[in-house]
Copies of this chain bind each other. A is one copy, B any other.
Amino acid sequence: MSPRSSATIRDVAALAGVSHQTVSRVINNNERVAPKTRARVEAAIAELGYQPNAIARFMTEGCTYTLACISPNLTDYTFASIMEGAEMEARRQGYFVISASAPDAQTFAQLVHQLVDSQRTEGLLAINPYIDERYTHLPETVPTVLIGAMARQAKYGAVALDEEFAGRQATQHLVASGHKRITLITGPLVEDCSSERRAGYLSALQAGGITPDPRLVFEGDWSATSGDAAIHHWLDTGTQFSALFAQNDRMAVGAIRALRDAGLHVPEDVSVVGFDDMPLASYFDPPLTTIRQDIFSIGREAARQLIWQIEHPAEPTPKLKIATQLVIRHSTSLYKEVP
């Protein structure tokens, strides 16, 4: 590795004819330095193009002002929005964030070790830690905020949607429209959010006096293809239904495609509610009725909470639930008795 090239604090000091300590005072400009001296030092800094070395500062300050954010991937729109919110809030407070994608728990563990245990970062943002065993590798010694799942241990902070409320909200809209046989496509049920959204679905059915039928529930994997598969499953088994709640928009879109291929119309024959309000949700055919989550503020709140924990290590770790919103477009309509 090539050595760093630029001028050090001592070079500046030599050129300005002062001690390096005076230069340090100037660059941390909260000290009392004689205006003349300051001017001389600043001239030297400019002449040499001097930049304080961040690493050396971290070394003496004992803080890197860097956060780690580990996500299953960087491309999912929801995850990316969370990271963008987190990054902007972090930066506002003088922190940067190293983002890394961990497809599996083992990679996650390795990343935690390299990024957090090595004291390279001051804290961890973990997106969706309960999709597999990754939650067993969460750091022990450093502030951590879980995103997209409530912390099962008290020591971690958390920011997540009110998933059950959201599931109820989506289902209620269908119930209120007169639908009785309402299907559900969940995400993988190992993920908390899937089962919580399902709990909301069940509670909305019960509130509407509808007895849940387990045959109307299909476990998908968030992909459009799995939405497609769900519809084929129900059609093949001759299952009757007039409405569908898909736990994300991708599965909803896949389902709509499969319905159309089967000659069914949305919303005339089947009403569909999605979840996420992803970009272009309003450009699908028909425009998607869906649950909107304020993902940007999830990231922002998570970063805010993490930095707060870093700077107030003794305080308890808060948990935050973010509300969702129903966006009604044209993929849902009132139930009409089939003749």
B83 touches A74 (CB 8 A): yes
A1 touches B311 (CB 8 A): yes
List residues of A (85-131) whose CB comes within 8 Å of B's CBs. 87-88, 91, 96-101, 114-115, 117-120
Which residues of the partner chain B approach A3 to less than 8 Å between Cβ atoms?
Answer: 62
A52-B118, A224-B280, A250-B280 known; A5 and B141 CB under 8 Å?
yes
B84 touches A74 (CB 8 A): yes
The chain B residue sitting closest to A2, CB to CB, is: B313
A87 touches B58 (CB 8 A): no
A51-B118, A75-B84, A224-B280 known; A62 and B97 CB under 8 Å?
no
B96 touches A98 (CB 8 A): yes
For this chain, the copies found in one complex come to 2
A224 touches B77 (CB 8 A): no
Question: Counting chain B CB atoms within 10 Å of each CB, which of A1, A63, A64, A81 scores highest?
Answer: A1
Which residues of the partner chain B approach A280 to less than 8 Å between Cβ atoms?
Answer: 224, 250, 253, 280
Would you give the shortest CB distance from A127 to chain B, in whole angstroms?
A: 13
Which residues of the partner chain B approach A119 to less than 8 Å between Cβ atoms?
Answer: 4, 6, 51, 53-55
Would you give the shortest CB distance from A303 to chain B, in whole angstroms?
A: 13
**Once bound together, how far apart are the Cα atoms of A2 and B283, in whole Å?**
50
**Once bound together, how far apart are the Cα atoms of A49 and B61, in whole Å?**
23
Would you give the shortest CB distance from A76 to chain B, in whole angstroms?
A: 8
Asked if A181 is at the interface of the complex by the 8 Å CB criterion, the answer is no
Mostly, the A contact residues are mixed
Chain A: number of interface residues, binned into ranges? 35 or more
**Once bound together, how far apart are the Cα atoms of A3 and B284, in whole Å?**
53
Asked if A259 is at the interface of the complex by the 8 Å CB criterion, the answer is no
Asked if A199 is at the interface of the complex by the 8 Å CB criterion, the answer is no
Asked if A22 is at the interface of the complex by the 8 Å CB criterion, the answer is no
Which residues of the partner chain B approach A63 to less than 8 Å between Cβ atoms?
Answer: 1
Asked if A34 is at the interface of the complex by the 8 Å CB criterion, the answer is no
Asked if A328 is at the interface of the complex by the 8 Å CB criterion, the answer is no
List residues of A (1-49) whose CB comes within 8 Å of B's CBs. 1-6
20 A-B pairs within 8 Å (CB atoms) are namely: A1-B62, A1-B311, A4-B62, A5-B141, A6-B119, A54-B118, A54-B120, A56-B59, A74-B83, A74-B87, A75-B80, A75-B84, A77-B77, A80-B80, A88-B101, A250-B280, A253-B283, A280-B280, A283-B284, A284-B284
Among all A-B residue pairs, the 6 with the closest Cβ atoms = A54-B118, A74-B84, A285-B285, A54-B120, A1-B63, A75-B80
With A98-B98, A98-B99, A257-B283 known, 16 other A-B pairs at CB within 8 A are A1-B61, A1-B311, A4-B62, A5-B141, A6-B141, A51-B117, A53-B119, A54-B118, A74-B81, A74-B87, A96-B98, A96-B114, A224-B283, A253-B283, A260-B285, A284-B284
